[in-house]
Amino acid sequence: MEIHQLRYFVAVADEGSFSRAAAKVRVAQPSLSQQIRKLEAEVGQPLFDRLPRSVVLTEAGRCLIDYARQILASIGDARRCVDELKGEVAGKVAVGAIPTIAPYVLPELVVTFQKHYPDVILEIVEDVTDGITRRIEAGELDVALASTCRPSPTLRRESVATEPLLALVPEKNPLAKKDLVEFDDLKSQRFLLLHEMHCLSQQVNHLLESRRLRPEIALAGSQLSTIANMVAASIGISIVPQMMVKHHATPGCVSLPFAPPVPERELNLLYNPLRFQSKAAAAFREEAA
């Protein structure tokens, strides 16, 4: 097995497409396809089922994929370890963030970091929590910003801050006149939430369930900006992080703090303690903290 074959194999598995994988690794698709065929010939089994509109891993492919990720991550660790001997804070740092944090935290953080460390190249990946944690554990990301995550020996969490969650209501809604909102005030409201794959949606659902609220869910969206615009159109209300309101005020919406106890969410730095941490990655963690 060749390293580039494993890299192509992982790319196809991640993208579900030979053409997208070729674009991702910046190689011509015929060349990528040929290398995958050679890898399949070496293992003696097909690694992908070629479907009309996608490719999916076969049983053999599912068996190989975790080992391929580990091998590529270890090679990356070895390269970074050797680079450290130069004594410079340089190289690449792969940074992940969930969609409910990335647009509000990363722009300022990246600008500040690059002023301090101009020789470091940042590679930014935005993904939901499950994708972020998988990439951290596989060594594809050096560090990530997230909220909640499942415990794991290959995942270390460092708390950065907590922030309050706010009620977001249409400006013509009677609730908009209140100074503080109680959860009981929300019983008759229609809710607009993110899709359940987002950890914020899971957190909000847990809050509502803990207060025995089972509101009508009018929309499960993929972006907070979409949710906010729907709130402005009086389709429903939502519960959103404070950082969203601070960075992107939406005309037609009013944000309201909750009466104590105030619901909050954590902001955490995630990294894999079993992977080599470069000086550049450590510097980014320090900057983010």
Q: Could you read off the pLDDT of 225-269 as tens digits, one per residue?
A: 999 999 999 999 999 999 999 998 889 999 999 999 999 999 999
Backbone angles phi, psi at 184, to 5 degrees: -65, -25
Tell me, what's the pLDDT at 81?
78
Identity of the residue numbered 120: V
Q: Which domains does the chain have, with CATH numbers?
A: 1-69 (1.10.10.10), 164-263 (3.40.190.10)
Q: Which DSSP string corresponds to 82-112?
A: HHHTT--S-EEEEEEE-TTTHHHHHHHHHHH
Tell me, what's the pLDDT at 90?
81
Q: Which DSSP string corresponds to 212-274?
A: T----EEEEES-HHHHHHHHHTTS-BEEEEHHHHHH---TTEEEEPBPSSPPEEEEEEEE-TT
| Strand 156-170 to 238-241 pairing | antiparallel
Tell me, what's the pLDDT at 257?
97
- Give me the residues of the chain with pLDDT under 50, please: none
Of residues 156, 155, 149, the one with CA closest to residue 127? 149
Whether the CB-CB separation of 153 and 281 falls below 8 Å is answered with: no
- Give the integer Cα–Cα distance in Å for 279 and 139: 16
Tell me, what's the pLDDT at 52?
86
- Give the integer Cα–Cα distance in Å for 108 and 172: 33
